[in-house]
Amino acid sequence: MPVDFVPKHNRENAKGSFARGCRVCQKRRGVIRSYGLNMCRRCFRERAAVLGFKKYD
């Protein structure tokens, strides 16, 4: 890795949807912001029942 390596996406310079991350795992992709969840879709599926969401077919 070169000495002058700069990360492509850092939180200080992030704009738009990439500035926000999941409150559980800090990932920035697939974030659900509805109802103030701010969780990625993976963490939401794990915790949906605890949060009170029900799956309807």
Mean pLDDT of the chain: 84
The pTM assigned to this predicted structure is 0.69
- How high is the pLDDT of residue 53? 93
35 has pLDDT over 60: yes
| 20: CB partners within 8 A, 6+ apart | 28, 31, 33, 38
CA angle, 3 then 20 then 7, to 5°: 10
57 has pLDDT over 70: yes
Residue 19: band (very low, low, confident or very high) from pLDDT cuts 50, 70, 90: confident
Average pLDDT over residues 33-51: 94
